[in-house]
């Protein structure tokens, strides 16, 4: 049950969606609506999705966020959240990302999944996820909170589509069969220097657990993860701020590397 009325939800969606397009920082919405609840937050995110679809944007997948201790600690929050990613957010591996299209971008190393069967909670578990996975691939997400100083609470960031902005997928994809995703090492380099390291287990003990949690969170809202869905499972390390001139290269054990240049 939402506590905000439909017109307030719509106004807040327009506020956040236009802030993204106009690369404008805004106050976090819980300043004005301290009593908004989780359903309000996801209803605003859904309204942003509808606004974008009406503009001709295609939704290209789903994302989990705040799934590692490193991320939870960095943002000072206590639970994972989900959002969506878009066609215009996709940047080719090795590509350039103009920082003047963004507010204060940060990069995150993530393991992405593509499903071959639908997944529906409640009760979705890691074995079901692995059996329904077509392949996994390496990814870097570029997040860009629309909130001042990248500071927010969970409800504000859910409404802001979990800071979703851009993402780069690596071209080396593999079946999860025979791949030890838990121990899979990840090394992030910025301008040739190692800035963060982690392994798959940093995300909820195993990145497939993040997909199971997504199915269960969607299931609680009567939804599912359709077959053929691309899912970013969440940063394995804390997010790293980037500026024009920065080169990012992330090496994923067994999955190759993903790189991009901020200009």
Specify whether the CB–CB gap between 140 and 258 falls below 8 A.
yes
Which one of 37-45, 90-98, 137-145, 215-223 is the stretch in contact with ligand OOG (CB under 6 A)? 137-145
Which one of 30-38, 84-92, 129-137, 232-240 is the stretch in contact with ligand OOG (CB under 6 A)? 232-240
CB neighbour list of residue 244: distance below 8 Å, 6 or more residues apart: 99, 262, 263
Interface mask (CB under 6 A) for ligand OOG, residues 60-99, using x and -? ---x-xxx---x---x------------------------
> 165 to each of 85, 90, 140, 200, how far by Cα in Å?
8, 9, 11, 23
20 lies in the binding site for Mg ion (CB under 5 A): no
Residue 157: which of ligand OOG, Mg ion, none does it interact with, CB under 5 to 8 A by kind? Answer: ligand OOG
124 lies in the binding site for ligand OOG (CB under 6 A): no
Taking the C-alpha atoms of residue 65 and residue 59, their distance in angstroms, rounded to an integer, is: 17
- List residues bridging with 113 in a β-sheet: 136, 231
Nearer to ligand OOG, 157 or 214 (CB): 157
Q: State phi, psi for 236 to the nearest 5 degrees.
A: -80, -20
Which one of 25-33, 141-149, 168-176, 181-189 is the stretch in contact with Mg ion (CB under 5 A)? 141-149
Specify whether the CB–CB gap between 110 and 130 falls below 8 A.
no
User: CB of 158: closest distance to ligand OOG in angstroms?
Assistant: 9
Nearer to Mg ion, 105 or 235 (CB): 235
Neighbouring C-alpha atoms within 13 Å toward the C-beta of 201: 3
105 lies in the binding site for ligand OOG (CB under 6 A): no
**Residue whose tokens read 């380099």:** 189
Taking the C-alpha atoms of residue 107 and residue 105, their distance in angstroms, rounded to an integer, is: 7
Among 157, 165, 169, 187, binds ligand OOG (CB under 6 A): 157
Among 8, 30, 115, 145, binds ligand OOG (CB under 6 A): 145
- List residues bridging with 139 in a β-sheet: 110, 169
Q: Using DSSP, how many helices (H) and how many strands (E) does the chain show? A: 6, 13
- How remote is the C-alpha of 133 from its chain's centroid? 18
Among 17, 20, 40, 108, binds ligand OOG (CB under 6 A): 108
Which one of 95-103, 139-147, 190-198, 204-212 is the stretch in contact with Mg ion (CB under 5 A)? 139-147
Residues that bind ligand OOG in the complex, under the rule CB under 6 A: 63, 65-67, 71, 75, 108, 110, 141, 143, 145, 157, 162-163, 234-235, 239
């Amino acid at each position: 049950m939402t506590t905000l009325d439909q017109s307030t939800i719509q106004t807040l969606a327009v506020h956040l969606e236009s802030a993204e397009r106009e690369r404008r920082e805004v106050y976090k919405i819980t300043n004005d609506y301290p009593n908004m609840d989780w359903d309000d937050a996801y209803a605003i995110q859904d309204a942003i999705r509808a606004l974008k679809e009406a503009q001709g944007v295609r939704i290209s997948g789903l994302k989990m966020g705040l799934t590692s201790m490193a991320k939870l600690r960095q943002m000072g929050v206590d639970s994972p959240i989900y959002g969506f990613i878009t066609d215009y957010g996709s940047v080719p591996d090795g590509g350039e990302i103009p920082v003047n299209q963004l507010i204060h971008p940060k990069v995150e190393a993530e393991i992405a999944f593509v499903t071959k069967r639908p997944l529906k909670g409640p009760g979705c578990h890691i074995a079901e996820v692995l059996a329904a996975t077509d392949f996994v691939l390496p990814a870097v997400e570029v997040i860009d909170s629309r909130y001042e100083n990248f500071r927010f609470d969970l409800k504000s960031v859910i409404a802001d589509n979990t800071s979703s902005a851009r993402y780069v997928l690596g071209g080396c994809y593999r079946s999860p069969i025979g791949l030890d995703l838990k121990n899979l090492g990840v090394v992030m380099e910025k301008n040739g220097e190692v800035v963060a390291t982690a392994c798959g287990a940093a995300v909820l003990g195993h990145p497939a657990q993040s997909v199971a949690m997504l199915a269960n969170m969607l299931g609680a809202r009567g939804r599912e993860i359709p077959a053929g869905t691309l899912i970013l499972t969440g940063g394995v390390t804390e997010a790293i701020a980037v500026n024009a001139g920065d080169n990012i290269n992330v090496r994923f054990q067994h999955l190759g590397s993903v790189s991009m240049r901020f200009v």
